[in-house]
Structure 1
């Protein structure tokens, strides 16, 4: 058999799918039966083992992206970490350990099996129905019909990550690329389009993880109070005109004098909230440098309900990021090594990872928020190595300059989306 490429796509919508034959003409079962979906019985859910590490990984990745970009940043820590953890099931033992340690897990303290059970618990909890929150969680593996992946990998992927396998025809890469993008768009209700870059002719596998989030504000904005053209100072030289929502409502709010930033928590009517962080002019770098679990815990303890005069842009922004170089800097080097292959996934030797791609979208309006994301990792055949508010002001927050956002699921405390809005009009 010839060389194979492996795509891994993590999306902004987590949804359960089934092991079927994927084509434009119909579906057939591949032969990996869905397992039972019993209730987790632990007094403390297993996802508590992994949530702090996913959050730390997301914050570390954000700082790497911020160092390389001056524009909008947006990604899903849950999506990317889930995709990479699942990938570790199909690698050699030493690479599996490096992937998980690159994500930040301490395998001396927590065995690999417990970490995978943590992801199993997290995906189960995120997928539970909620009357006021739409959160779809899912993972799919698309395999060319000529491949023969190891059944043990398929079983583990299905049991732990609810990842179901689809047979597909990759012989026409352009057609397959179109079908997979349509699949992603369908799972995210069109919010994430063209989540996959065009892939080479010899691509034979694609692993997709998708997450979709939609919720209404607990205190919606009124459209008649939205100003259609207000100034937004993207940087010292660029002023934009954007729609600015306005309301006076009770929100948890603080001004951090040490970091010179406004911190605002806005609740959704469902099981989620978003944290918006508005640095004082010229203080974005200072706030980004201090962004870590300890800072988030401090803010959570100090946030107090206040009747806030809030001005917030109405926006739709996206983030598109190539992650392979950044992940290598963060310690995940073996998956890009010429010595590594994913034969458990593809059923073929001599496949190395070469590219990781992620796309995320957030749409924030008077009613609430929609969010979605997509990430991908390619493997390629072996080749020769190439040589807001200043101190003293009243309880108001005017988000008329770049700010950070963290969208969190309340029950699991998982960080669904993380980013920076530099240009609200980019979407």
Structure 2
């Protein structure tokens, strides 16, 4: 049983899951002119939809992939170094937020995520996220993957009960009542709560906020997977060169193995594409641009490109060199999201009164933090490591060569739902 901070009062029954990489949104007071009728039509919580003939998540995961690539390109344009974020974490939290928004704001959020509301009604979107979260959260002996949401509301707020019921039913939100009047103490207590839920891997995710902050919405993903073909740590070279750019190189640990993997070389895009499998229903897609071709590869990133690669990847024995690395990404997205279509979240016309219970509250900050650790044993996102058995090495001297000794892209993919769990770029493996 999870222990809750003594300063937080739990608001009604809800779920709580183990947590990992995160996003938060904080609400500040901003007056705006009175508007006309803003009746809220929240889709009814679905019953039994998880047993339909085809999973509801199939209606949303293609859109999540497009959203992931759009956001990646915007981050790449503004971030010179490492990039790492969770498209599923971020998109599910924004969709959750739309449940408490009035009509215009709700439409702007969902369309900004990339949904065509004529083709995919709001109710189907929320059922899709419910189905996705439920499926990803199913227990597996080979893959640890959990999602979690927590909502901290100031004691003076009076959210609509049916909104809380819907976000609990659809997104598994745990709602707490908090005292934001003492902003410094509350921030420390929320950060401590998050740190405990993520085994100390996500710390200080919530930056300072003022006393007029009235709401914090947190979402986390916890991912821990073992390689299907683990690397032998005795074959790891402790000091190999990694070329950050044409002028800078680092000496880093480089893992090595000769093993069967699906890979290809895309001459048109100028990159090597490698698929590494985990023991459970997850895969890592690594994309290594030719020297000087990173911008060309990033420009070519489209859902159609990923589909093409998936069809063309062929298994073959590969002489693989891959760095051990631990990177993280921390972003304040209120300046980035408007550039990819989410334009109505932060202006004074936005209306989240379904959650806040007050008409003059708007979102002023959206932050996202994610971490990943890749070792010989497997991949861990914001969690402690586990042990793995090592397979017998192949005694082969000749095989195609893939040397990830320069910046490359990383996509962590859940196989059953075909959803992008994490997406990033490794520019400096030693940056942390």
TM-score (norm 2): 0.86
Q: How does 1:279-290 map to 2 (within 5 A)?
A: 279-290=289-300
Paired with 1:213 and 1:63, the residues of 2 have a C-alpha distance of 24
Q: Does 1:193 align with 2:203?
A: yes
Q: How does 1:24-423 map to 2 (within 5 A)?
A: 24=6, 29-32=10-13, 40-372=50-382, 395-423=400-428
Q: CA deviation at 1:164?
A: 2.1
Secondary structure of the structure 1 residue equivalent to 2:187: helix
Secondary structure of the structure 1 residue equivalent to 2:291: coil
* Contact 2:154/2:177, CA 8 A, preserved across alignment: yes
> Could you say what the CA RMSD is over the residues aligned between the two structures, in angstroms?
2.0
Aligned residue number for residue 5 of structure 2? 23
Paired with 1:372 and 1:290, the residues of 2 have a C-alpha distance of 30
Paired with 1:301 and 1:163, the residues of 2 have a C-alpha distance of 38
Unaligned runs of 5+ in 2: 16-44, 384-397
Secondary structure of the structure 2 residue equivalent to 1:79: helix
CA offsets 1:310-348 (integer angstroms, 9 cap, x no match): 000001001111211221112212111112232211122
Paired with 1:218 and 1:257, the residues of 2 have a C-alpha distance of 28
Paired with 2:121 and 2:47, the residues of 1 have a C-alpha distance of 23
Q: CA deviation at 1:49?
A: 0.4
* Contact 2:148/2:221, CA 8 A, preserved across alignment: yes
* Contact 2:46/2:127, CA 8 A, preserved across alignment: no
* Contact 1:32/1:155, CA 8 A, preserved across alignment: no
Q: CA deviation at 1:272?
A: 0.4
Paired with 1:157 and 1:340, the residues of 2 have a C-alpha distance of 19
Paired with 2:190 and 2:158, the residues of 1 have a C-alpha distance of 20
362-371 vs 188-197, which moves further: 188-197
* Contact 2:317/2:399, CA 8 A, preserved across alignment: no
Paired with 1:93 and 1:274, the residues of 2 have a C-alpha distance of 38
Q: CA deviation at 1:143?
A: 1.2
Secondary structure of the structure 2 residue equivalent to 1:220: coil
* Contact 2:14/2:175, CA 8 A, preserved across alignment: no
Q: CA deviation at 1:168?
A: 1.7
CA offsets 1:361-396 (integer angstroms, 9 cap, x no match): 1100010011149xxxxxxxxxxxxxxxxxxx9611
TM-score (norm 1): 0.87
Label 1:332 to 1:308 Cα distance change in 2 as closer, same or farther (>3 A): same
CA offsets 1:46-105 (integer angstroms, 9 cap, x no match): 000000000000000000011111100110000110010011111110110111000000
* Contact 1:315/1:365, CA 8 A, preserved across alignment: yes
Q: CA deviation at 1:30?
A: 2.3
Paired with 2:193 and 2:261, the residues of 1 have a C-alpha distance of 38
286-295 vs 178-187, which moves further: 178-187
* Contact 2:332/2:367, CA 8 A, preserved across alignment: yes
Secondary structure of the structure 2 residue equivalent to 1:300: helix
Paired with 2:262 and 2:366, the residues of 1 have a C-alpha distance of 37
* Contact 1:23/1:169, CA 8 A, preserved across alignment: no
Aligned residue number for residue 387 of structure 2? none
